[in-house]
Amino acid sequence: MQLFDLGVRIKVNDITISYYDEGEKHKPVIIFIHGFPFNKQMWNMQVLALRDEYRVIAYDIRGHGYSDSGIADFSVELFAKDLIEFMDALSIIKATICGLSLGGYIALNAVINHQDRFASLILCDTNCIADSEETKEKRIQTIENIMEKGVPAFAEEMIKSLFHADSFTTKTNEIDKVRSMIENTSEQTLSKTLVALSMRSETCSRLNKIRIPVLIIVGEGDVITPPDAAIKMHNKIATSSLVILPLAGHVSNLENPSEFNAKMLTFLS
Ligand code: MLT
């Protein structure tokens, strides 16, 4: 079985994208986009929960997982362009899109610019603001730290802010999986994506253009993109509903998969 493994591959733009494609091809399509610096495996629980009723696709953003990096500098615009061309390459005219954090930045950019390609949108633990000057400086510092101390030290540091306090005792397998996803991301991808994150444009001022149904999910203990940020997006999107997930931090789909999946299934149906 391809799931949990390499996935299948398709040429898109200048790169080859690795993805899971589960469920029957004629069923409604849902595409999952992971956060930084993870890969498509972070969606395994959701792929399993949905694949009987949907065509479920989870792909690796360029440079992450098993997708090629290409030579271009990374940007959220380039990641969104990859998404649209990935859909074109698979002849997918319309899909529901679900993105977590960086995946949410990409999904928002794609929906705002190509709304006709999307049936609905699920935004998880994400935000619509651009980086502040302080956050930009922290990203540069992080790049320097990675070059100096290496990726495992970066993974250890990042994990501290990713999870709900309870998850450190109840979700040790998930933490190990996240650690391994981060450690398997190259220094080059980490640096290029940190620059892309710091350069991204805000999308808050265009949220009122969204007309498709939107589900916003955020972990109650998310300190990276906190519930306040989700509430602000919810207030700007007329068609949105909001779920604040208990016992979850920034990776809410991994920390509380049963409630996450239940909310997602209700929204989709
Ligand atoms: C992510 O999970 O994708 C990142 O934490 C996003 C960010 O740092 O802005």
pLDDT tens, residue by residue, 122-165: 999 999 999 999 999 999 999 999 999 999 999 999 999 999 99
101 C-beta closer than 6 A to ligand 1: yes
190 C-beta closer than 6 A to ligand 1: no
> Residue 227 pLDDT > 50, yes or no?
yes
Report pLDDT digits (tens) over 85-96.
Answer: 999 999 999 999
Confidence of residue 189 (pLDDT cuts 50, 70, 90): very high
C-alpha 26 to ligand 1 mean position (Å) = 33
Mean per-residue pLDDT for 13-35? 96
Report pLDDT digits (tens) over 191-217.
Answer: 999 999 999 999 999 999 999 999 999
- Alpha-carbon distance of 128 to 202, in angstroms, equals 6
36 C-beta closer than 6 A to ligand 1: yes
Could you give phi then psi for residue 110, rounded to 5 degrees?
Answer: -65, -45
Tokens matching residue 257:
């998969």
Burial of 231 (0-12, 13-18, 19+ CB in 10 A): middle
C-alpha 215 to ligand 1 mean position (Å) = 19
Give this prediction's pTM.
0.97
Residue pair 183/151 in contact (Cβ under 8 Å)? The answer is yes
> Residue 166 pLDDT > 60, yes or no?
yes
- Alpha-carbon distance of 256 to 236, in angstroms, equals 26
C-alpha 201 to ligand 1 mean position (Å) = 14
**Helices 133-149/187-199 angle, 10° precision:** 170
Burial of 176 (0-12, 13-18, 19+ CB in 10 A): exposed
- Give yes or no for a cis peptide into 152 (omega within 30° of 0): no
224 CA: nearest ligand 1 atom: 5
pLDDT number for residue 1: 37
103 CA: nearest ligand 1 atom: 3
102 C-beta closer than 6 A to ligand 1: yes
Report pLDDT digits (tens) over 42-54.
Answer: 999 999 999 999 9
